[in-house]
Amino acid sequence: MKIPAKVVNRLTLYHFIIDSLSADENYVSSTKFAKLLGVDNSQVRKDFKYLGKTGKCRVGYPAKALKKSIEEKLGFRATRNAFIIGAGNLGAALAQYRTFDDYGLHISALFDTDPQKIDRTIGGKNVFALERLEALVKKLHADVAILAVPPVAAPEMARYLAAAGIRYIWNFTPCVLDVPSKVKVWNENLIGSFLQFISQEKMASK
């Protein structure tokens, strides 16, 4: 059963919640999850149905089993290798975002065009010259690019990534990319996200 994208997002939030429970909280009710997330409690129960896990009346859902089940369904095990394109402030920050590895996203390396940055390391990861991208896509089995270059460089870089065999571009630039349809783009769009946030009233997640 295919899990809808929005449910995938909420499943990670449930996982965060379980992670932050104290050791003696063995069971959690759908109402507790719902309050923390600002959603209806029946939605929580529906989400858990995708996991195939059942709860106990009067008690709730077993925290540890639920956590493990989320990890299996979302495939944290099957780590994906990604490259960060642009070793500036944002690229460096994302390279050092420790939690990615816990959730199945491994940053294999960074790429830049600035000779000052090339051949250094950031957070223990190599920064390579952009020209080496295509070869390393194949060698390291990375098909995800995290795009963190200045806006002015984004359009050309997107074309370059597509030509180099990248299949997924996680786009952190304030630009809309024009790429062949075989390449999937996810616009993180921080600005749109922020305006969405302040334009509405309720607590929310994407």
The interface partner of residue 174, options being a second copy, DNA, none and the CB cut-off 5 to 8 Å by kind, is: a second copy
Interface pick for DNA out of 1, 5, 78, 191 (rule CB under 7 A): 5
**Run of H or E including 59:** none
CA 7 – CA 64 distance, rounded (Å): 19
Q: Rounded to whole angstroms, what are the CA distances from 161 to 42, 79, 105, 121, 173?
A: 42, 21, 19, 21, 14
Among DNA, a second copy, none, residue 134 binds (CB under 5-8 Å by kind): none
Work out whether 59 is an interface residue with DNA (CB under 7 A): yes
| Binding flag, residue 189, DNA (CB under 7 A) | no
The yes or no reply on residue 193 touching DNA (CB under 7 A) is: no
What is the dihedral angle through the alpha carbons of 42, 47, 53, 54, rounded to the nearest 10 degrees? 0
- For residue 42, the minimal CB distance to DNA (Å) is 4
Take residue 90 and report the two structure tokens written for it.
């944002």
Residue 195 binds to DNA (criterion: CB under 7 A): no
Which partner, DNA, a second copy, none, binds residue 60 by CB below 5 to 8 Å per kind? DNA
- Positions in 27-46 near DNA (CB under 7 A): 29-31, 39-43, 45-46
Distance, CA of 118 to CA of 55 (rounded, Å) = 52
